[in-house]
């Protein structure tokens, strides 16, 4: 019995990382209705930036994370303002093609600079420390930290969207961009702010990812898939739904791996397909079609 409790617990904690990965994707789609194909690659880019900062400036992982977040946020703002805003419109293929091109550029750039060797960010004993919850039941402190950060950030995003002027501008620009433009709001700035926040979330996810496991320049598409599945399962535009989708995906993978070591990833995909068949809009959809 304790084995299954551990498996479910580890799956839930893994879901916290998936929710962090998916939060930025959910935000960019919810506000701009853009599916960022390079989303996973940006997470890997943030991880490599943290590795470089930690090694060159002799920083600990937390300090590297603190510096990486504003760098990625500034990159997101500039990228949306200078490039991606030009692709928005009725043609959904344009942002898809542009972000696909960015994905290729990031992967090949990282491969050229860092080679194909896998890398990680050393967190010392914290990476293997655990918190004992009961007889033969324990949770790693690092995964617990990731889950706590995911809940706090998603709660902060929910507060931003529901209680602040910027959040209202995000929702208005998403629901009716033409009317918002007529009211004097600069959609280009609003979209760039949204992408900056999305990239800040991506940075947190990427740095936690490299703390927990090894990464390589080609790992972005795999993590994009996990983020996409978490967003779809939770419901487009729903931040708490994104957390639920990430947890569900993590638990499905953990249970599948327990039944057969080769079934972990497959079980997550099957869970995604099942929800897609019976709940095409996800568990907690929030966006309005336009």
- What span, in angstroms and rounded, lies between the C-alpha atoms of 83 and 85? 6
Per residue in 83-121, pLDDT (tens digit) is: 998 888 777 788 899 999 999 999 999 999 998 888 999
Q: Are 258 and 266 in contact (CB under 8 A)?
A: no
> Which pLDDT does position 1 carry in this prediction?
67
Per residue in 226-281, pLDDT (tens digit) is: 999 999 998 877 888 899 999 999 999 999 999 888 899 999 999 999 999 998 88
Per residue in 181-207, pLDDT (tens digit) is: 767 777 888 999 999 999 999 999 999
Hey, where are the domains in the chain?
A: 9-278
> Which pLDDT does position 198 carry in this prediction?
94
Q: Which of 121-130, 134-143, 215-224 has the highest mean pLDDT?
A: 215-224
Report the chain's mean pLDDT, rounded to a whole number: 89
Query: What residue has token string 């496991």?
Result: 213
pLDDT at 288 over 80: no
Please report which helix (H) or strand (E) contains residue 181, including its range.
helix 177-182
Within 8 A by CB and 6+ apart from 8, the residues are: 251, 254, 255
> Which pLDDT does position 64 carry in this prediction?
95
Q: What is the DSSP letter of 290?
A: -
Q: What is the CATH number of domain 9-278?
A: 1.10.3470
- What span, in angstroms and rounded, lies between the C-alpha atoms of 58 and 88? 41
> Which pLDDT does position 290 carry in this prediction?
43
Listed range (43-47, 70-74, 213-217) with the worst mean pLDDT: 213-217
Question: DSSP letters of 209-262?
Answer: HHHHS-B-GGGHHHHHHHHHHHHHHH-TT-HHHHHHHHHHHHHHHHHHHHH-TT
Please compute the mean of the pLDDT values over residues 111-135 and round it to a whole number: 86
| Model confidence, pTM | 0.92
Q: Give the rounded percent of residues in the chain with a pLDDT score beyond 70.
A: 98
> Which pLDDT does position 215 carry in this prediction?
92
How many CA atoms lie less than 13 Å away from 195 in the CB half-sphere? Answer: 27
Please compute the mean of the pLDDT values over residues 18-28 and round it to a whole number: 90
């Amino acid at each position: 019995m304790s084995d299954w409790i551990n498996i479910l617990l580890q799956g839930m904690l893994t879901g916290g990382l998936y929710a962090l990965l998916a939060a930025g994707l959910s935000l960019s789609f919810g506000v701009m209705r853009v599916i960022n194909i390079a989303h996973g690659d940006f997470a890997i880019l943030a991880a490599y930036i943290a590795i470089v900062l930690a090694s060159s400036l002799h920083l600990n992982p937390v300090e590297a994370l603190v510096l990486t977040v504003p760098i990625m946020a500034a990159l997101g703002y500039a990228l949306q303002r200078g490039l991606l805003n030009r692709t928005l419109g009725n043609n959904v293929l344009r942002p898809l093609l542009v972000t696909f091109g960015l994905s290729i550029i990031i992967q090949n750039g990282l491969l050229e600079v860092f080679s194909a060797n896998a890398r990680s960010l050393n967190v010392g004993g914290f990476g293997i420390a655990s918190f004992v919850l009961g007889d033969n039941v324990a949770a790693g402190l690092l995964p617990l930290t990731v889950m706590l950060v995911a809940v706090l950030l998603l709660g902060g995003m929910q507060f931003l969207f529901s209680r602040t002027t910027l959040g209202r501008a995000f929702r208005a620009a998403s629901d009716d961009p033409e009317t918002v433009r007529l009211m004097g709001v600069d959609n280009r700035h609003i979209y760039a702010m949204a992408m900056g926040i999305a990239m800040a979330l991506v940075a947190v996810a990427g740095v936690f990812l490299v703390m927990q496991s090894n990464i390589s320049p080609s790992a972005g598409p795999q993590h994009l898939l996990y983020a996409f599945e978490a967003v779809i399962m939770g419901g487009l535009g729903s931040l708490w739904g994104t957390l639920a989708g990430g947890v569900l995906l993590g638990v499905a993978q953990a249970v599948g791996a327990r039944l057969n070591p080769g079934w972990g990833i497959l079980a997550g995909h099957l869970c995604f397909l099942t929800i897609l068949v019976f709940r095409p809009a996800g568990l907690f959809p929030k966006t309005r079609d336009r």
